[in-house]
Chains A and B, each alone.
Chain A
Amino acid sequence: MKRADDQLLKIKEIAFIGKVTASLSHDIKNILAIINESSGLAGDLLTKGDQKENPHLSRLTQINISMQEQVKRGVEIVKRLNRFAHSMDEEASDSDLNDIILLTADIAKRLARLKGVGLETIPTDNPIIDIRNDPFKIEQILFGCIEYLLDLPAKKSLITITVKQNKDDTSIIISDDSSKVSPSCGDNGIEKTSDLQMTFLNILMDEIGGSVNFIKSQSGNTITLSLPLKPP
């Protein structure tokens, strides 16, 4: 009973965080929409004939273009935040796995960039991969895998994520190119923090009825996540 209560409490807490984040991201989006229109109006007015004599026309136009570009950038970030927040709505829901992967990769790109590593998703043949599971946990696991590979001491320049659909499950494969960057890295030890991270990933995968397989070879490091088609 205690375990069930704890689990319910955890679900409610996550749903609360999701709801608040979604609401705040909606407010930020409305502000960006106003800035977008104001900047658009400024652009409209700057292109009017009576502005030709304005000595600052060129600079003002440049500033305005920069504002619009930053609004677009802000909108993309808020969209990600909003989608991430909505992934906390329900414990298990029908989702497109491609969407989950693209969102997580977008969120993790900054972390990878700070470590000088690129992060790419390899498109699959199927535009939509239906999966009934906990999108929030999948995002958490996927992000954890990316962090894990980034924390390994071997030098790398790129991490790729791809999906393989099997008869009974779906695999997400996260690989790095450490062998190409540093061919002798295959025997390097794993840092303690990374070991803890892998334990954590195993626990999370177990919760959603899946498994983690980590292979460290001469061709690079690969983590394969096997996801069941339906939650346990």
Chain B
Amino acid sequence: MSNLRVLLVDDEEEFVTTLSERLSLRGIETEVAYNGENALAKMNQITPDIVILDVMMPGLSGLDVLKQIKEILPDIPVILLTGRGSTRDGIDGMKQGAFDYLMKPVDIEDLIKKMNEAMKSR
């Protein structure tokens, strides 16, 4: 998984920075964005290998961001994070082109496994 560049998008700053640090400890390069607008701007600057995207964010929602990513960079896999109790958001996201979804809180090993699967699917 080293040399992989991941964009983490979530409005919960502490969640994103801590997850980013944990991924970095495992040799994964990370960039963070705290809202949808910022995420789309970073997409153009860094072209990540994978995007990890929270569904419920103020402003542009995760599903709005997903739609725009799929329009500009359709080959980049997006893994959604959903904090809701139901799987509805995740399934809706997969219908819109997300590779898969995980429920929050995430197990880091599950996240890395999912990222591996996403990279293999490219």
0 or 1 for each of A68-91: is its CB under 8 Å from B? (1 = yes):
000100010011111101100000
Does A33 lie at the interface of the complex (its beta carbon under 8 Å from any beta carbon of B)? yes
B12 pairs with A30, CB closer than 8 A: yes
Chain A residues with CB below 8 A from B85, complex form: 22, 25, 29, 78-83, 85-86
For window 100-117 of chain B, which residues contact chain A by CB distance below 8 Å?
104-106, 108
Chain B residues with CB below 8 A from A79, complex form: 85
A86 pairs with B86, CB closer than 8 A: yes
Does A40 lie at the interface of the complex (its beta carbon under 8 Å from any beta carbon of B)? yes
A26 to B11 alpha-carbon distance, docked (Å): 13
For window 1-37 of chain B, which residues contact chain A by CB distance below 8 Å?
12, 14-15, 18-19, 21-22, 25
Does B83 lie at the interface of the complex (its beta carbon under 8 Å from any beta carbon of A)? yes
Closest residue of chain A to B21 (Cβ to Cβ) is A41
B56 pairs with A44, CB closer than 8 A: no
A30 to B56 alpha-carbon distance, docked (Å): 11
* Known pairs A29-B105, A33-B106, A34-B18 / 5 extra A-B pairs, C-beta < 8 Å: A25-B85, A26-B83, A26-B84, A30-B12, A34-B15
A-B contact pairs, 26 of them (CB 8 A): A22-B84, A26-B56, A26-B83, A29-B85, A29-B105, A30-B12, A30-B15, A30-B104, A32-B105, A33-B104, A33-B105, A33-B106, A34-B18, A36-B105, A37-B14, A37-B15, A40-B18, A40-B22, A40-B108, A44-B25, A71-B105, A75-B105, A80-B85, A82-B84, A83-B85, A86-B85
